[in-house]
């Protein structure tokens, strides 16, 4: 399957790259060091249609296709993974709302999401259940015209800043994955509390936390889609999430390559730039090849999703996520090697890129999970 970037795709890349270069990169190290959420940059990104850019125009969004949103994610992470994550995650859960939510949900929340006014979180993982979604222990019991939700969610992006959450809970616990439902839960509701997780290795400018739900009552009309169909609704968009992480990996890998190339041209040893030494130049060549191969596979996966090729999209998305994340960590590691001792301290961004890249091998399904999916979808 081939892909081709249109003039619009190229224009989007230039716009995001300029935003990243002029606004994000100068303050990236500060936000990482202080673990501070980039409120002003998120609003600037929203003004440029970079928050939840997939949302249709009827709800105020930019209505970008899958390849365009992939490019946006890539360039934001190339500017800085932490801030890129904060911007890119503002609309977590919006896809579920868009495709399965009632019209009132879309009209009330989607325009405010794309304008940067509110944030959304997707609460799926639990302390004892990450990749095993079907094992979740959060329960939602019907009580008249309400549901009562009890449980704990862990590793939730935007947990502490979200205005709404899409919470996955079991409405028929005995049925495993066949008994899971999705709920729209406003975070100001009684019984919902969050705990920040601040000791992260990387992407420190983004928000992460635990969500505690104790007798949280939501109206029955806050059910998203059909009761006991939440797992299947979620599965419809797993490929999108994996392509998004692949794009993140490509972005941080490109940033690592950029930094290593610049340093190799400036750093001199034995009277000449180190890029002239074959050992270094070959390392840069391998890094560049890895980045381009990861980008190509990621774009192919995005194109397959847009074309509606479900089986191919599932396989390619897992391949892209696996390959791009593994290469991102390797390229970031090589970037530190090119810098030598200077790469091991925070004077240069490559140590941050190395820390940031590591998460791409974990969330939205670990590398091990991706290998299992790929094996299951071989022709």
Tell me what the pLDDT averaged over the chain comes to. Answer: 96
- The answer to whether 353 and 252 are in contact (CB under 8 A) is yes
CATH number at residue 239: 1.20.140.10
Report helix, strand or coil for 211: strand
Tell me if 50 is assigned to some domain: yes
The active-site residue, picked from 22, 306, 364, 368, is 364
**26 C-beta neighbours (distance < 10 Å), count:** 11
Q: Is 197 left (phi over 0), alpha (psi -120 to 50) or beta?
A: beta
Note whether 363 and 239 are same-domain residues.
yes
Average pLDDT over residues 239-250: 97
Give the rounded distance of the alpha carbon of 42 from its chain centre.
15
Give the rounded distance of the alpha carbon of 309 from its chain centre.
22
Average pLDDT over residues 35-48: 98
Instruction: Describe the crossing of helices 81-88 and 66-79 by its angle, rounded to 10 degrees.
Output: 140
Give the percent of the chain with pLDDT over 70: 99
Look at the block and give the residue holding tokens 């202080």.
Answer: 34
Tell me if 100 is assigned to some domain: yes
- Summarize pLDDT for 299-353 with one digit per residue, the tens: 999 999 999 878 899 999 999 999 999 999 999 999 999 999 999 999 999 999 9
pLDDT-derived band at 4 (thresholds 50, 70, 90) equals confident
Note whether 187 and 95 are same-domain residues.
no
Average pLDDT over residues 354-358: 98
Give the rounded distance of the alpha carbon of 3 from its chain centre.
22
Q: What CA–CA distance (Å, rounded) separates 94 from 273?
A: 49
List, in order, residues 6 or more apart from 229 with CB less than 8 Å away: 181
Is the pLDDT at 7 greater than 90? The verdict is: yes
Report helix, strand or coil for 54: coil
What's the Cα-to-Cα distance from 109 to each of 21, 118, 189, 205, 362, rounded to whole Å?
A: 31, 8, 16, 24, 29
| Nearest CA among 134, 376, 122, 96 for reference residue 237 | 96
Look at the block and give the residue holding tokens 């549901």.
Answer: 147
Q: Mark which of 173, 206, 228 sits at the end of a domain.
A: 228
Quote the longest CA-to-CA distance of the chain. Answer: 80
Q: Mark which of 114, 143, 177 sits at the end of a domain.
A: 114
Note whether 190 and 131 are same-domain residues.
yes
| Beta-strand relationship, 120-123 and 164-170 | parallel
> Could you list the residue range(s) of the whole structural domain that residue 22 is in?
7-114
Is the pLDDT at 2 greater than 80? The verdict is: no
CATH number at residue 178: 2.40.110.10
Report pLDDT for 38: 98
Report pLDDT for 311: 85
Number of domains in the chain: 3
Look at the block and give the residue holding tokens 């969004």.
Answer: 61
Tell me if 2 is assigned to some domain: no
Average pLDDT over residues 95-101: 96
Average pLDDT over residues 350-365: 97
Note whether 42 and 82 are same-domain residues.
yes
HSE (CB half, 13 Å, CA atoms) of 264? 24
Backbone angles phi, psi at 143, to 5 degrees: -140, 90
Instruction: Clarify whether 364 is annotated catalytic.
Output: yes
DSSP assignments along 74-137, one per residue? HHHHHH-HHHHHHHHTTBTTHHHHHHHS-HHHHHHHHHHHHTTS--EEEE--BTTBSS-GGG--
Average pLDDT over residues 280-284: 98
Note whether 255 and 361 are same-domain residues.
yes
Q: Mark which of 57, 82, 114 sits at the end of a domain.
A: 114
Average pLDDT over residues 115-143: 93
Quick one: DSSP state of residue 300? H
Sign of the CA dihedral 238, 293, 78, 6?
negative
Q: What CA–CA distance (Å, rounded) separates 358 from 330?
A: 10
Is the pLDDT at 1 greater than 70? The verdict is: no
| Beta-strand relationship, 208-219 and 192-196 | antiparallel
Note whether 189 and 136 are same-domain residues.
yes
**11 C-beta neighbours (distance < 10 Å), count:** 12
Q: What CA–CA distance (Å, rounded) separates 276 from 283?
A: 12
Tell me if 153 is assigned to some domain: yes
Is the pLDDT at 129 greater than 90? The verdict is: no
């Amino acid at each position: 399957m081939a892909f081709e970037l249109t003039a619009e795709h190229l224009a989007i890349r230039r716009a995001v790259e300029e935003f990243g270069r002029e606004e994000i990169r100068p303050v990236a190290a500060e936000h990482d060091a202080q673990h501070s959420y980039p409120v002003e940059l998120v609003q600037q990104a929203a003004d440029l249609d970079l928050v939840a850019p997939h949302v249709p125009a009827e709800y105020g969004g930019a209505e970008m296709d899958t390849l365009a949103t992939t490019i946006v994610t890539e360039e934001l992470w190339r500017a800085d993974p932490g801030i890129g994550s904060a911007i890119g995650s503002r609309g977590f859960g919006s896809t579920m709302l868009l495709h399965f939510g009632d019209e009132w949900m879309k009209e009330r929340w989607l325009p405010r999401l794309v304008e940067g006014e509110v944030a959304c979180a997707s609460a799926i993982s639990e302390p004892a259940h990450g990749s095993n979604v079907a094992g979740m222990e959060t329960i939602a019991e019907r009580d008249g015209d309400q549901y009562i939700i009890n449980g704990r969610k862990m590793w939730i992006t935007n947990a502490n800043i979200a205005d709404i959450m899409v919470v996955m809970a079991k409405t028929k616990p005995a049925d495993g994955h066949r008994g899971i439902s999705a709920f729209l839960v406003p975070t100001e509701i009684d019984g919902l509390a969050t705990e920040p997780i601040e000791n992260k290795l990387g992407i420190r400018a983004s928000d992460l936390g635990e969500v505690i739900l104790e007798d949280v009552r939501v109206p029955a009309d806050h059910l998203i889609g059909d009761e006991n169909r939440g797992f299947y609704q979620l599965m419809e968009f797993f490929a999108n999430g994996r392509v998004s992480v692949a794009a993140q990996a490509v972005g941080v890998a490109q940033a690592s390559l950029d930094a290593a190339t610049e340093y190799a041209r400036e750093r001199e040893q034995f009277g000449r730039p180190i890029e002239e030494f074959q050992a270094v130049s070959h390392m840069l060549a391998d890094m560049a090849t890895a980045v381009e191969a990861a980008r190509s596979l990621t774009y192919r996966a995005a194109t397959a999703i847009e074309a509606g090729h479900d089986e191919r999209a599932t396989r390619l998305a897992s391949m892209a996520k696996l390959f791009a994340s593994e290469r991102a960590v390797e390229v970031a590691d090589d970037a530190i090697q090119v810098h030598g001792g200077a790469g091991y301290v925070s004077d240069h961004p490559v140590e941050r890129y190395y820390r940031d890249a590591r998460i791409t091998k974990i969330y939205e399904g670990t590398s091990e999970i991706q290998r299992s999916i790929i094996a299951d979808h071989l022709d």
